[in-house]
Amino acid sequence: MDRRCLLAGLAALPVLGAPRLSLASPTLAEDPAANPEVAPKNPRWPIAPQYYPTEVEVKPALAVGSIIVVSDKFFLYHITAPGRAMRYGVAVGKAELKFRGQAVVARKVEWPNWKPTPEMVERSPSHYARYAETGMPGGPRNPLGARAMYLYQNGHDTAIRIHGTVEPASIGHAVSNGCLRMVNDHVIALYDTVPIGTPVTVY
């Protein structure tokens, strides 16, 4: 299926009102300050309503179980049944760093460790050089957030992850070094339903 047809099909689909199946914890979605471990500094939850988990209609031909990311719209679709998907908001890579293509989820980690790539260190040594050798252990301050799904192509790590974030206000923006960020609650929900081997297509 070419990108133009896919985008036209997804863009034309109506959102089914308020999220029919919300996967976010109400305490976090409505008042993140209720959980200081993951609460953003801004006391108001910074995610626009369209980026909450929402059940939507999609083209029936899309493979059940697959993940499709439409970067320009900042949406990730997990196809849950023929013609049905859960849609999540994501942050994507900056213009020159956007990942495009097909991959598979080859590894899944809870509260993953994080280590910047050599390219990240080279681009911004003031931000990343101190983590270049030892990285950062998993935890609520880790940039990968609560969960990470590692994308591989032909058995090789792409260095692209679908992961949580400590910056939920970045959802809906092109700000990352290529990875796909999700709100921690949302990535946990996706992580729990996505097996190893899940195909991922990023447009």
Asked, for residue 6, whether it belongs to a domain, the answer is no
Report d(CA 90, CA 167) in Å as an integer.
Answer: 11
pLDDT tens digit sequence for 41-100: 443 467 999 999 999 999 999 999 999 999 999 999 999 999 999 999 999 998 878 899
Token pair listed for 16: 């089914």
Q: How far apart are CA 140 and CA 158, in angstroms?
A: 24
Q: Residue 68 falls within a domain, yes or no?
A: yes
pTM as predicted: 0.76
Per-residue confidence (pLDDT) for residue 45, from 0 to 100: 64
Active site residue 163: yes
Domain that holds residue 74: 45-202
pLDDT digits (tens, 9 = 90+) for 140-153: 889 999 999 999 99
Residue 15 lies in a domain: no
Instruction: Give, rounded to a whole angstrom, the gap between the first and last alpha carbons of the chain.
Output: 12
Q: Higher confidence at residue 98 or residue 4?
A: 98
**Active-site residue identified among 5, 78, 173, 179:** 179
Task: Tokens 């900056």: give the residue.
Answer: 94
149 falls within a domain: yes
Structure-token match 């970045």, residue found: 170
Of the candidate ranges 28-32, 48-52, 65-69, 169-173, the one whose mean pLDDT is the lowest = 28-32
Q: Which of 5, 156, 163, 173 is catalytic?
A: 163
With respect to residue 10, please indicate whether it lies within any of the assigned structural domains: no
CATH number, domain of 113, equals 2.40.440.10
∠ CA 124-99-58 to the nearest 5 degrees?
140
Asked if residue 196 is part of any domain, the answer here is yes
**Has 5 been annotated as catalytic?**
no
More confident residue, 50 or 115: 50
Tokens representing 53?
Answer: 């988990």
| Residue 117's pLDDT band (cuts 50, 70, 90) | confident
Token pair belonging to 157: 């790590």
**Cβ neighbourhood burial of 39 (10 Å; 0-12, 13-18, 19+):** middle
Alpha helices in 37-143 (DSSP H): 118-123, 125-128
Mean pLDDT of the chain: 81
pLDDT in tens, 126-137: 777 776 777 778
**pLDDT number for residue 10:** 52
Residue 11 falls inside a structural domain: no
Count the domains in the chain. Answer: 1
